[in-house]
């Protein structure tokens, strides 16, 4: 899929305007020594609970502490533009965890990371949001310790399944909506809702799933003026992954709109529902260039332009050959989510009361696993 990060450096299909984060891209997190740990900054203490008190920051030797507490087993669970996620084991509790290693670069980026940590603490205990256990900090990096999700990213999990049904898809979406309902109730817009940020708890079942990656999330109300200014600016900046971007976010990217709000997540949810039911997205890049590598994850200006125009039009279809087996309720939900005008789009409360979410759903086998395994089809 295509993530919006930096227009001029699209080798990983990234086109975001927030240049303060773009420099993470060139660095490698492999083999970086653990140096020092900062405890007490941004109202966080050793047990990873918000205390509401202000501590003077102090540094302790981190290398020996981490080696004594966490054993990196060498497995890389994921890699993004800014971070690498590695598997590790807590030597004391024997709990398998995931360590996300993020490079710091400048004060603004540090504020973003601390803001993400604070939002994870606000979400602590929700059954459909990944649990942040604790974090470390040295001069160059943050180390965030999460619970380990054994099922991996959602589409990767579905791709490996023999059978994935419409009922399975409904249960996945129910979990995602539960997380969104919680976030939106806290005034948080996720802004990067996509299958890669939905993780399966179990390797043997598609559900339950949990949301991860709040690095692009924006919180409307924060106590800190620095956080408030940052979030105000972010809701005026186009971010996210292109196929899942709402029209108003594309409008902001094209300079046709000044701002957007958390309703952008509901459009992204509609794209996810569509994708889960057929295996391909409702909006996609397309061009006639012979050397186009868009579907290999590389950049293509023509494909991007086609995609954005397609999203801005708000027009999509349910090809009969793929959608004839899909229930009317599923299509109805999509039609209430993929609405060009955010004022007429479903809210999370509307989704939670929709029959496709809270009533019995057909156990129809879907083509999604087969399509994801490489039988790629984009309708004309």
Does the active-site annotation cover 8? no
pLDDT tens per residue, range 35-67: 222 222 333 333 344 333 333 343 445 656 776
| 82 inside domain | yes
**Which of 120, 147, 174 is where one domain is finished?**
147
**CATH number of the domain enclosing 97:** 3.30.200.20
**pLDDT per position as a tens digit, 220-239:** 543 334 334 334 334 444 45
Mean pLDDT lowest for which of 133-142, 316-325, 344-353? 133-142
pLDDT recorded at residue 316: 96
* pTM across the whole model: 0.79
Q: Does 290 lie in the same domain as 276? A: yes
Helix, strand or coil, per DSSP, at residue 141: strand
Q: Are residues 178 and 78 in the same domain?
A: no
Residue 97's nearest CA partner among 125, 69, 65 is 69
Q: Is residue 31 part of a domain?
A: no
- Contact (CB, 8 A) for 274 and 338: yes
Last residue of a domain, which of 95, 120, 147?
Answer: 147
Q: Domain for residue 333, yes or no?
A: yes
Range of the domain at 265: 152-221+241-374
Decide which of 30 and 65 is more confident. 65
Is 104 one of the annotated binding-site residues? yes
pLDDT at 258: 65
Contact 269, 193 (CB under 8 A): yes
Domain count, the chain: 2
Are 129 and 176 in contact by the 8 Å Cβ rule? The answer is no
pLDDT band at 369 (very low <50, low <70, confident <90, very high): very high
- Confidence tier at 107 by pLDDT (50, 70, 90): low
Catalytic residue among 138, 192, 215, 251: 192
pLDDT digits (tens, 9 = 90+) for 295-341: 777 778 888 889 999 999 999 999 999 999 999 999 999 999 999 99
177 plus 110 within the same structural domain: no
| Residue found under tokens 């470390």 | 136
3-state secondary structure of 140: coil
Please check whether residue 47 lies inside any domain of the structure: no
Co-location of 166 and 315 in the same domain: yes
Strands (DSSP E) along the chain, which ranges? 3-4, 36-39, 58-61, 70-79, 83-90, 96-103, 132-137, 141-147, 152-153, 188-189, 198-200, 209-211, 218-219, 240-241
163 pLDDT band, cuts 50/70/90, is very high
Q: Cis ω on the peptide bond leading into residue 208 (within 30° of 0)?
A: yes
| 75-79, 252-256, 297-301 — most confident range | 75-79
Same-domain status, 298 and 173: yes
What would the pLDDT profile of 201-212 be if each residue is shown by its tens digit? 999 999 999 999
Residue in the structure block whose two tokens are 């409702």: 282
If asked whether residues 127 and 185 sit together in one domain, one would say no
Residues 122 and 158 grouped into a single domain = no
Indicate if 213 and 108 belong to the same structural domain: no
In a domain, 70, yes or no: yes
Q: Is residue 276 part of a domain?
A: yes
Residues 105 and 165 in one domain: no
Answer yes or no: do 76 and 180 share one domain.
Answer: no
Q: What is the dihedral of CA 78, 83, 84, 87, to 10 degrees?
A: -90
CATH number where 208 lies: 1.10.510.10
> Would the pLDDT of 359 be above 80?
yes
């Amino acid at each position: 899929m295509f993530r919006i990060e930096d227009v001029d450096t699209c080798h990983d299909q990234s086109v975001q305007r927030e240049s303060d984060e773009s420099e993470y891209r060139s660095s490698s997190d492999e083999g970086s020594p653990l140096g020092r740990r900062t405890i007490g900054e941004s109202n966080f203490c050793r047990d990873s609970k918000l205390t509401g008190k202000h501590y003077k920051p102090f540094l302790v030797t981190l290398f020996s502490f981490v080696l004594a507490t966490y054993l990196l087993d060498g497995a890389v669970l994921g890699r993004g533009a800014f971070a690498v996620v590695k598997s590790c084991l807590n030597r004391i509790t024997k709990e398998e965890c995931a360590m996300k290693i993020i490079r710091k670069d400048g004060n603004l980026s540090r504020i973003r990371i601390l803001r993400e940590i604070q939002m994870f603490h606000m979400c602590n205990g929700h059954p459909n949001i990944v649990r942040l256990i604790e974090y470390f900090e040295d001069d160059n990096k943050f180390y965030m310790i999460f619970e380990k999700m054994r099922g991996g990213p959602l589409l990767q999990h579905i791709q490996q399944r023999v059978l994935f049904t419409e009922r399975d898809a409904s249960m996945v979406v129910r979990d995602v909506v539960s997380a969104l309902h919680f976030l939106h109730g806290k005034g948080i817009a996720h802004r990067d809702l996509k299958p890669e940020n939905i993780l399966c708890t179990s390797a043997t079942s598609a559900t339950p799933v949990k949301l991860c990656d709040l690095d692009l999330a924006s919180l409307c109300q924060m106590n800190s003026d620095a956080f408030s200014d940052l979030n105000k600016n972010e809701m005026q900046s186009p971010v996210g992954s292109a196929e899942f971007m709402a029209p108003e976010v594309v409008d902001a990217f094209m300079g046709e709109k000044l701002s957007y709000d958390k309703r952008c997540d509901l459009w992204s949810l509609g794209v996810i529902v569509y994708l889960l039911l057929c295996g391909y997205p409702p909006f996609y890049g397309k061009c006639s260039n012979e050397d186009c590598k868009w579907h290999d994850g590389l950049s293509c200006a023509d494909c991007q332009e086609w995609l954005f125009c397609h999203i801005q039009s708000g027009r999509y279809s349910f090809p009969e050959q793929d959608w004839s087996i899909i229930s009317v309720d599923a299509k109805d939900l999509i039609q209430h989510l993929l609405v060009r005008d955010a004022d007429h789009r479903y809210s999370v409360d509307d989704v939670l009361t929709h029959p496709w979410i809270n009533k019995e759903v057909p156990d129809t086998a879907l083509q999604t696993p087969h399509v994801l395994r490489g039988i790629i089809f984009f309708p004309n």
